[in-house]
A and B are shown apart, each in its own frame.
Chain A
Amino acid sequence: MKPEIITGAEIVIRSLQKESVDFVFGYPGGAVLNIYDAIFKQKYFKHVLVRHEQAAVHAADAFSRATGKVGVALVTSGPGATNAVTGIATAYMDSIPMVIISGQVPTHAIGEDAFQECDTVGITRPCVKHNFLVKDVNKIASTIKKAFYIASSGRPGPVLVDIPKDITAEEAEFIYPDSVALRSYTPVTKGHLGQIKKALDLLLKAKRPMVYSGGGVVLGNAAESLKNLIDTLGFPITNTLMGLGGFPASDEKFLGMLGMHGTYEANMAMQDCDVLLAVGARFDDRVIGNPDHFLSKPRKIIHIDIDPASISKRVKIDVPIVGDVKSVLDDMLESYGDLKKDHNKDLIKPWMAQIKEWASEDCMAFEDDGSFIKPQKVIQTLHKVTNGEAFITSDVGQHQMWAAQYYPFDKPRRWINSGGLGTMGVGLPYAMGCQLAFPDSQVACVTGEASIQMCIQELSTCKQFHLPIKIINLNNRYMGMVRQWQEFFYGNRYAESYMDALPDFVKLAEAYGHVGMKIEKSSDIEPALKEAFSEKLKEKLVFMDFITDQTENVFPMIPNGKGLSEMILAGDS
């Protein structure tokens, strides 16, 4: 066969084709012009032109969260790359597999403060799983292969490939490797069987068992395996913010989300259990609160995680199991077969009764006399109108917590939010990534009037690509989450958290060619949502501006530095 001699830019395109990439989210510029010229001539994938590089990375990130595939973004050198950094750091904190390709100034100009030069590899190093600067056209294909492999294996994460402009113009033979072997990178998959048996032994003897699962179950496609195991054991379970949908919320064993804004029953059970099984979660500060308080109660902890560094990082673990969560859960269920006869399911009856009592607190109840729009009610109605089947993206703030609390998810990869970095502005680009991946599904972006303005320019992208996203703007005229902290911990001094000079969102939506709605009455919530999701507006992006109760707060709440059982509840004054 004749060797295929093509340009570096074409090698980039062909490599992406080899990786079965469907969408590239990007924004052109000088250093990537060769690559864009090659994009012009290809038909393998669709390029989605965003309006800001941050949104390109967020949209690619959401595409990955929703589908499980590797998301791809393409940006130019200098400002293109620096604009992408927030997106990359966001994906990194939530372990999202992504490949970001950035243009760089020509190799001979590197280090000379050339126009639009920045040390992209240096700037992104702390917020990527790995990055590369390719200086040889013959290495483009193998580097992209490595990038996809590293991004999607082990604990996933974003990988950046920086390619100088001259390299994309040079020619080389296109050889795409079938596989990669890196002596310095060999992620484990199978968990240690001895440890798995030890864990089961502990679990079956537990009087007060509790299961806590996180984003690892969603990312590791382990939801079904988790369900099988938990159904077999009959244990109570909670999810982290990142883990929602990893276990069906409608199952009676599900205690709701835990953590800073978790349910009373989930947090109390987490604190009081005698054996805790943690699956693909990392005991972070928003989840267990003060670690000393958490550790003040004795309990045995089993931790399953793909990343050994996540184990015993904040909390000492008794039975660590390093491995792919799905494989470990399946092995655990299999091992259970041998131990089944010794399992006394009555052992946990008093514990289940205790949990029921905690649940009777009804910590999620909220007052609603109909005089204002209650944000919680908007989310509950959204759940009803979409039959709980929609992809829900959110921004960051109170609205994010209400979405997590009042939209129960039964399936993984439906709840798309920035849990780790907590990046305001992700909501709309996240919705774009989901809608492009699932054009026939309902996609709603739950946002706040502050967050939505951080990537509002993407309304233009949505118009160009006909994305019928429904934006649920819970407009409380405040950076509500900031205001809540100021109310509780700063003597009601609302420093710079009032959102003055807000745009008319209806007109704004219309200016971009979309449909705008302003909803001011509680009784209008349901009709408005029904209309937005109706057949008539099926093809349309609808921006729903809900004017909500300004004083509403998120409950329960664990104040900073406090322990899991030290929640403030809605009824407390």
Chain B
Amino acid sequence: MENESGALSRVSGLFSARGYNIESLTVAPTEDPTLSRMTIVTSGSDAVIEQIIKQLNKLIDVVRVLDLNDGKHIERELMLVKVKASNQYQDEMKRISDIFRGRIIDVSDNTFTIEVTGSSSKLDAYLESLDSESIIETVRTGALGIGRGDRILKA
């Protein structure tokens, strides 16, 4: 969509006004600074998804809409997790992070901060495998998506 002030609120306003569900929404400018790209994760029946796409297309600032689920695509989300750094959790935490290819990016006397990337369900699985007592704070970007191979979304 056009990288204009207010464009984001037009999209989020559309979802709340029409009662559509937003699971996550990420947005940032693209290599063309006049354009922003947004990835929205939503859910609904086929009819609802069809309406969402049509309503988004109606917004003047929206250039193109692509339903990534219509074809092969890659989905990634980034999560930062801050956990307690007590001896009790340390080894277990390192082992699990290795399995999920997480990286420790900050260490203090009391905390570790780990970065994990992957599909949203992988991040969920990672959190589930940690001892919930050990988790201090989490922050997630929401999913980003891109089509595989020749499948592209361009203005």
Contacts and interface: CB of A to CB of B under 8 A. Distances in A.
Interface stretch (A21-29, A181-189, A359-367): A181-189
Shortest Cβ-Cβ A-B pairs, 3 listed: A309-B54, A184-B63, A130-B60
A185 B17 contact: no
Nearest to A121: B6
Given A121-B6, A183-B155, A184-B1, A309 B13 contact: no
Interface in A417-450: none
Interface of B: 1-2, 5-6, 9-10, 13, 17, 47, 50-51, 54-55, 57-58, 60-63, 155
Contacts of A126: 13, 17
- The secondary-structure label for the interface of chain A is mixed
Contact of B50 (A122, A185, A312): A312
Given A126-B13, A316-B47, 16 more contacts: A125-B6, A125-B13, A126-B17, A130-B60, A150-B60, A184-B1, A184-B63, A185-B60, A307-B58, A308-B57, A309-B51, A309-B55, A309-B57, A309-B58, A312-B51, A313-B51
B50 A184 contact: no
Contact of A184 (B2, B6, B55): B2
B47 A312 contact: yes
Nearest to A155: B58
Contacts of A121: 6
Contacts of A307: 58
A81 to B, nearest CB: 16
A184 B47 contact: no
B17 to A, nearest CB: 5
B51 A184 contact: no
A129 interface: yes
Contacts of B55: 309
B132 to A, nearest CB: 40
Output the residue of A129, A130, A307 with the most chain B CB within 10 A. A130
A183 B10 contact: no
Contacts of A313: 51
A121 B13 CA distance: 12
22 contacts: A121-B6, A122-B9, A125-B6, A125-B9, A125-B10, A125-B13, A126-B13, A126-B17, A129-B60, A133-B5, A150-B60, A183-B63, A184-B1, A184-B2, A184-B60, A184-B63, A308-B57, A309-B54, A309-B58, A312-B47, A312-B51, A316-B47
B3 to A, nearest CB: 11
Contacts of B2: 184
Nearest to A311: B54
Interface string A314-325: 001000000000
Contacts of B5: 133
Interface in A213-272: none
Contacts of B51: 309, 312-313
A121 B7 CA distance: 12
A130 B9 CA distance: 12
Contacts of B1: 184
A130 B51 CA distance: 19
A184 B154 CA distance: 12
Contacts of B47: 312, 316
A314 to B, nearest CB: 10
A184 B62 contact: yes
Nearest to B6: A121
A183 B4 CA distance: 14
Nearest to A182: B60
Contacts of A150: 60
